[in-house]
Amino acid sequence: MVSNKLPWHGIPPFLPSYFPKGFVNSKCDSSLFIHRTSTSVTYLLIYVDDILLTGNNFVHIQQLITHMHNAFSMKELGNISYFLGISVQSTNPGYFLSQQKYAKDILLKAGLSACKPCSSPISVKPHTPPNASLPFDNPALYRSLVGALQYLTITRPDLSLAVNQACQHMHAPTVGHFAAVKRILRFVQGTLSHGLYYTPSSFDLHGFSDANWAGDIHDRKSISGYCVFLGDNLVSWSAKKQATVSRSSTEAEYRALAHTAAELSWIIMLLTEMGISSPTIPVLWCDNLSAMALASNPVFHSRSKHIEIDCHFVRDKILAKQFVVQYIPTVDQLADLFTKPLSVSRFQYLKDKLMVFEQPISLQGTVETTKPTVN
C-alpha cells in the first residue's frame, strides 16, 4: 500500500503522466489503472490521496514505486493492512475485512458505547414509542450517524436494508426514526468484531435477485435486493427501494432482476478488463417463476407494456447467453436479507451464507499481519 500527499481531491488529469508508459485507465472504474504485458499484470488503484498497488511481477512493482518516489512526495506503507478505514487481516487461507475501529467511533459519537446489544438490526414487529411521530430534536446527529453507517456497510452487508431505510428520512427524521437507528447501533455493538471473510475460490460468477412487493408501508413501493458472488466470495450487494410502484409481485421481481443484471454486467466488464474470465456462464438466481418467464420471453404482453424499456434489457442478455436465469426456492434465496425484516434465526442463517463472520480467534488481540491484495 502506498500513500501519497498530493494537494488534490480526486484523480487529477495530469496524474497518469507520472506513470511509466503502458498503464491504461479502466473504462469501468476511473480509479483503476492497469498495466499488462505478455508475462505480467499490475493494478494501480487510486482513491483521493491513497494508492493500492499490486501485481504478479515484483521487479516491475519496485520500479514503479521508485519512479513514483522520484515524481512526487510519497510515503510507502508496505503490504496492505489498513485502507480507508477498512482493516485487512491475513488469515489461513484468506483475508478478513472489518471496520471495528470505525464502528466503535460511531457508537462513541452516538453516546452508545455501553449500550445493550440486540440480535438483529430490524425487528419483525417493531415497537413504536408514544412520541414516534414527533420531530427528532437533533437532525444533524441523525444525518451524521446514518451517513457513517452507510460507510460501515462496505464490510457489513447485513446492515444494508436497515441503513437504507434510515437514509430515506434524512430530510425530516422523527423520534421513531432515531429509535430505529439506535436499534441498528445496538446490533453493531454486539457484532463489533464481525466482517467479511474472503477465501481462495473459483471465478464462477452468480447473483441472487429478490424483491419485497409493496414492501414500503407508506408509499407501497417495492424493495429490491441483490447479492453477487465471485466463487464463494461476496463482491457486490444492494438493498434499495424501487423508483415506481409495481402493479404485481411479478413486476417487482422483474425490476429487481433487471437491477441485478445491470450490476452483473458491470462486474463482468470489470473482470474482463482485469484479464479474468468466468469459466462458466454467470447465473442469476430468482425465486419468482413469472418474473423468469417475463425475462426469457422476447414478446411483449399487455400486462408488461407499461414497464420501462430499460428494464427489458435483461431479455437481450439472456438471448445473447451472457448469463442464464435459474429458479431457486425462497428458503434458499440469499437476497431475502436485503428486502425485508427477518426473524433472528433466518437473519443469522443468511448472514452466515453471505460470509459475514466474527473475527477469527487467531486474529483477536494480535497485531495485524499483512500480505498483498492480489498474488
φ, ψ at 95 (rounded to 5°): -135, 145
pLDDT, tens digit (0-9, with 9 covering 90-100), for 174-196: 999 999 999 999 999 999 999 99
DSSP assignment string, 253-295: HHHHHHHHHHHHHHHHHHHHHTT---SS--EEEES-HHHHHHH
On whether both 234 and 341 belong to a single domain, the answer is yes
Share of the chain above pLDDT 90, in %: 58
- Domains of the chain: total: 3
Count of helix runs (H) and strand runs (E) in the chain: 9, 16
Do 370 and 90 touch, CB atoms closer than 8 A? yes
On whether both 206 and 339 belong to a single domain, the answer is yes
Residue 7 has pLDDT above 50, yes or no: no
Residue 284 lies in a domain: yes
On whether both 187 and 224 belong to a single domain, the answer is no
Residue 236 lies in a domain: yes
Mean pLDDT in residue range 239-263: 92
- Single residue among 193, 222, 253 that ends a domain in this structure: 193
- β-pair partners for 43: 34, 54
Residue 369 lies in a domain: no
Q: What range defines the domain where residue 232 resides?
A: 202-353
Chain position carrying cell 512526495:
73
Confidence at residue 302, expressed as pLDDT on a 0 to 100 scale: 56
Helices (H), the chain: 58-71, 100-110, 139-152, 160-167, 175-190, 249-273, 289-296, 313-319, 344-353
On whether both 336 and 218 belong to a single domain, the answer is yes
Which residues fall within 8 angstroms of residue 56, CB to CB, at 6 or more apart? 40, 41, 42, 374, 375
Do 203 and 233 touch, CB atoms closer than 8 A? no
Query: Rounded distance, CA 316 to CA 319, Å?
Result: 5
Residue 188 lies in a domain: yes
Confidence at residue 368, expressed as pLDDT on a 0 to 100 scale: 42
Confidence at residue 307, expressed as pLDDT on a 0 to 100 scale: 76
Confidence at residue 369, expressed as pLDDT on a 0 to 100 scale: 39
Residue 224 has pLDDT above 90, yes or no: yes
Q: Report how far apart the first and last C-alpha atoms of the chain are (Å, whole number).
A: 14
Residue 371 lies in a domain: no
Query: Rounded distance, CA 51 to CA 125, Å?
Result: 45
> Which among 234, 126, 271, 171 is positioned nearest to 225, based on CA atoms?
234
On whether both 189 and 216 belong to a single domain, the answer is no
Separation of CA 21 from chain center: 33
Name the least confident of 49-53, 68-72, 133-137, 333-337.
Answer: 68-72
On whether both 185 and 206 belong to a single domain, the answer is no
On whether both 131 and 20 belong to a single domain, the answer is no
Secondary structure of residue 212 in the 3-state scheme:
strand
- Single residue among 163, 193, 223 that ends a domain in this structure: 193
Query: Rounded distance, CA 359 to CA 98, Å?
Result: 8
> Which among 243, 173, 171, 251 is positioned nearest to 213, based on CA atoms?
251
The three cell numbers of residue 157 are 452487508
Query: Rounded distance, CA 83 to CA 128, Å?
Result: 39
Whether residue 16 has a cis bond before it, omega within 30° of 0: no
Name the least confident of 39-48, 76-85, 325-334, 366-375.
Answer: 366-375
pLDDT, tens digit (0-9, with 9 covering 90-100), for 141-167: 999 999 999 999 999 999 999 999 999
On whether both 172 and 224 belong to a single domain, the answer is no
- Single residue among 167, 193, 219 that ends a domain in this structure: 193
Residue 375 lies in a domain: no
Output the average pLDDT for the chain.
Answer: 86
**Which pTM value belongs to this model?**
0.87
pLDDT, tens digit (0-9, with 9 covering 90-100), for 81-138: 888 889 999 888 889 999 999 999 999 999 999 999 999 999 998 777 788 889 999 9
The strand order across the sheet containing 82-83 reads 82-83, 86-90, 95-98, 194-198, 356-358
Residue 90 lies in a domain: no
Residue 330 has pLDDT above 90, yes or no: yes
Query: Rounded distance, CA 60 to CA 35, Å?
Result: 10
Residue 8 has pLDDT above 90, yes or no: no
On whether both 252 and 294 belong to a single domain, the answer is yes
324: CATH: 3.30.420.10
Mean pLDDT in residue range 269-292: 92
> Which among 51, 79, 48, 82 is positioned nearest to 67, based on CA atoms?
51
Secondary structure of residue 346 in the 3-state scheme:
helix
On whether both 155 and 213 belong to a single domain, the answer is no
The residue type found at 316 is: D
On whether both 219 and 337 belong to a single domain, the answer is yes
On whether both 294 and 247 belong to a single domain, the answer is yes
Residue 294 lies in a domain: yes
